[in-house]
């Protein structure tokens, strides 16, 4: 693995040198020619998609203010890392890559993105960021990105059914069971096959004080047993094993679930699509901890970019608090920094901002295998709900997790 990374890094550096030489020989701006558009690659969506349009809009505002032309390329998430890595090896990567925060270490080690520690130290705004998000930018003591935005999970609850959200998991189980009946579940959460469906279980494990890599442990067993009890009591529909996060939202929005665990993504969606629904949010129930699972992206500069100064200018523009104040509600996400005006003025977003203070994210060792680990957790959850004894389901999942981590 190290040999592959070293070879890729070498090819990227050589390619960057070739590109730089080519730029000098052509004269660039010094020869009177207009600068090439700044290239940005992202996986949010194209400008016709609700997940993509806000990003295009904020970049358009930057173009108007700065006079810099920006060329945005949308690459679907499933193809993004492979396309970015191949382009870097060919010397044709973007100036800016908006990447998953938890891929930052791997991209840095592969030579796909470049060290921007010098720019960050001169900028001096590191202290404004939530610690978990900022730590994802650090590789071997150097900085390889700037957190762009954040998302986190909390408890949504129907205020016509629930006066106060549960503060412990014991309360969650009993409250959800009491609210179940007449075709309604007490709680909705995604349990669909794959990594997405493991988020609720990972949150429950973190509450027990164990890492998502430790399913075959007393805390891991307790988390699985908790879900088993909720399905048995009717607090949680067994159908949750087929629900993605949108499905969980629909259950809550239509009154088929009194509570749900979901991300901040659905705040504006509920407000716009279900204006008559009475709801609020609360931080997650706590046992040993009340940690949430962080979802985030980082803004990085491509290793082959020969336009670092302009790339850095756009990155810092996108992180101006006054820019984020407008952009984040449009994007339906949370700030990765704690000084964005207006966050505390919205009581719902303020709860999510509070929840971000207790956020878990995979470290550099786990990040490359995080999807495999979460997929194994979902398999344990599915097996448990289907009747496999908890110790057996946990043991099988732990073997898969250990094997995945051993190949990191």
Worst-scoring range by mean pLDDT, 90-99, 178-187, 190-199, 337-346?
Answer: 337-346
Statement: residue 24 has pLDDT above 70: no
Residues 310 and 218 in one domain: no
* Helix or strand holding residue 145 (H, E): none
Residue 335 DSSP one-character state: -
Q: Distance between CA atoms of 80 and 403, rounded to whole angstroms?
A: 25
Average pLDDT over residues 167-193: 96
Tell me the backbone φ, ψ of residue 296, rounded to 5 degrees. -160, 160
pLDDT at 264: 92
What pLDDT shows up at residue 260?
Answer: 98
pLDDT at 11 over 60: no
CATH number, position 349: 3.40.190.10
Q: Confidence band (pLDDT; 50, 70, 90) for 344?
A: confident
pLDDT, one tens digit per residue, over 86-119 is 999 999 999 999 999 989 998 999 999 999 999 9
Task: Looking at the structure, tell me whether residues 228 and 375 fall in a common domain.
Answer: yes
C-alpha torsion sign, points 201, 206, 209, 210: positive
Average pLDDT of the segment spanning 375-389: 98
How confident is the prediction for the chain on average, in pLDDT?
A: 90
Do 112 and 250 fall into the same domain? no
Assign 21 a pLDDT band (cuts: 50, 70, 90). very low
Range of the domain at 352: 2-151+296-360
Segment 370-390 shows an average pLDDT of 96
Same domain, 186 and 65: no
Does the structure show a pLDDT above 60 at 58? yes
Backbone angles phi, psi at 338, to 5 degrees: -100, 15
Q: Do 210 and 342 reside in the same domain of the chain?
A: no
Is residue 24 located within the same domain as residue 128? yes
pLDDT band at 33 (very low <50, low <70, confident <90, very high): low
On whether both 167 and 289 belong to a single domain, the answer is yes
| Residue 295 DSSP class | E
Tens-digit pLDDT profile for residues 221-248: 999 999 999 999 999 999 999 999 999 9
Number of domain units in the chain:
2
What confidence tier does 408 reach under pLDDT thresholds 50, 70, 90? Answer: low
Q: What is the pLDDT confidence band of residue 4, given thresholds at 50, 70 and 90?
A: very low
Whether residue 12 is found in the same domain as residue 26: yes
- Are residues 344 and 269 located together in one domain of the fold? no
Q: What is the pLDDT of residue 365?
A: 84
Tokens of 240: 């949750």
Of the candidates 140, 275, 333, 253, which has an alpha carbon nearest to the alpha carbon of residue 245? Answer: 253
Q: What's residue 27's pLDDT? A: 35
Strand partners of residue 155: 261, 282
- Phi/psi for 188 (5° steps) reads -125, 135
Q: How far is CA 214 from CA 198, 245, 364, 373, 389, in A?
A: 13, 24, 17, 10, 17
Q: What share of the chain is helix, strand, coil (3-state, %, to 5)?
A: 50, 15, 35
Global pTM reads 0.82
More confidently predicted of 172 and 131? 172
**pLDDT confidence of residue 35:** 83
| Residues 284 and 302 placed together within one structural domain of the fold | no
The reply to whether 275 and 395 lie within a common domain is yes
Quick one: 285 and 391 in the same domain?
Answer: yes
Average pLDDT over residues 294-299: 94
Share of the chain above pLDDT 70, in %: 91
CA dihedral 323, 327, 329, 332 (to 10 degrees): -140
159 vs 269, which has greater pLDDT? 159
pLDDT band (50, 70, 90) for residue 28? very low
């Amino acid at each position: 693995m190290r040999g592959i990374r070293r070879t890729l890094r070498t090819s990227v550096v050589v390619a960057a040198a070739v590109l730089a030489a080519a730029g000098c020989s052509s004269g660039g701006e010094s020869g009177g020619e207009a600068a090439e558009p700044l290239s940005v690659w992202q996986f949010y969506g194209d400008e016709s998609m609700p997940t993509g349009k806000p990003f295009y809009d904020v970049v358009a505002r930057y173009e108007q203010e700065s006079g810099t032309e920006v060329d945005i390329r949308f690459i679907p998430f499933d193809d993004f890392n492979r396309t970015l890595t191949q382009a870097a090896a060919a010397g044709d990567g973007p100036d800016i890559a908006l990447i998953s925060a938890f891929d930052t270490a791997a991209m840095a080690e592969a030579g796909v993105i470049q060290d921007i520690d010098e720019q960050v130290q001169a900028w001096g705004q590191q202290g404004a960021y939530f610690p978990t998000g900022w730590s994802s930018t650090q590789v071997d003591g150097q900085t390889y990105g700037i957190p762009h935005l954040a998302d986190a999970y909390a408890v949504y609850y129907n205020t016509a059914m629930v006066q106060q959200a549960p503060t412990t998991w014991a309360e969650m189980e009993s409250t959800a069971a009491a609210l179940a009946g007449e075709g309604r579940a007490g709680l909705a959460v995604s349990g669909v096959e794959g990594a997405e469906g493991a988020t609720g279980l990972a949150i429950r494990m973190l509450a027990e004080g164990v890492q998502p890599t430790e399913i075959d442990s007393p805390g891991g067993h307790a988390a699985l047993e908790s879900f088993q009890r909720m399905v048995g009591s009717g607090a949680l529909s067994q159908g949750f094993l087929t629900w993605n996060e949108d499905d969980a939202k629909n259950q809550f929005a239509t009154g088929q679930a009194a509570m749900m665990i979901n991300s901040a993504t659905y705040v504006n969606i509920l407000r716009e699509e279900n204006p008559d629904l009475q709801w609020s949010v609360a931080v997650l129930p706590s046992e040993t901890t009340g940690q949430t699972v962080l979802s985030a992206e980082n803004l990085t500069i491509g290793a082959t970019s020969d336009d670092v100064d302009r790339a850095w200018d756009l990155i810092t523009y996108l992180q101006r608090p006054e820019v984020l104040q407008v952009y984040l509600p449009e994007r339906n996400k949370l700030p990765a920094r704690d000084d964005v005006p207006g966050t505390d003025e919205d009581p719902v977003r303020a709860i999510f901002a509070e929840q971000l203070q207790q956020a878990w994210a995979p470290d550099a060792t786990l990040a490359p295998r995080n999807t495999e680990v979460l997929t194994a957790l979902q398999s344990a959850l599915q097996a448990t709900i289907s009747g496999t004894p908890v110790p057996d389901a946990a043991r099988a999942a732990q073997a898969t997790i250990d094997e995945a981590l051993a190949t990191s």
